[in-house]
Amino acid sequence: METILLTVYVLIWPIIVAGVLWTVCRGFLKDWAESRKAGRSII
């Protein structure tokens, strides 16, 4: 039973990290597109 729980715990982390990375990239690209449309620098 402990092996299954440990396996699930180890395998769930890449999914969580991928979700966070996807959210951050989507926000960045949205801000970049808005700033580009407005003619401003993103920084």
pLDDT tens readout for residues 7-40? 999 999 999 999 999 999 999 999 999 999 999 9
Number of helices (H), then strands (E), belonging to the chain: the values are: 1, 0
In angstroms, the CA 13 to CA 6 distance is 11
pTM score, whole prediction: 0.69
SS3 content of the chain, % helix, strand, coil (to 5): 85, 0, 15
**42 band by pLDDT with thresholds 50, 70 and 90:** confident
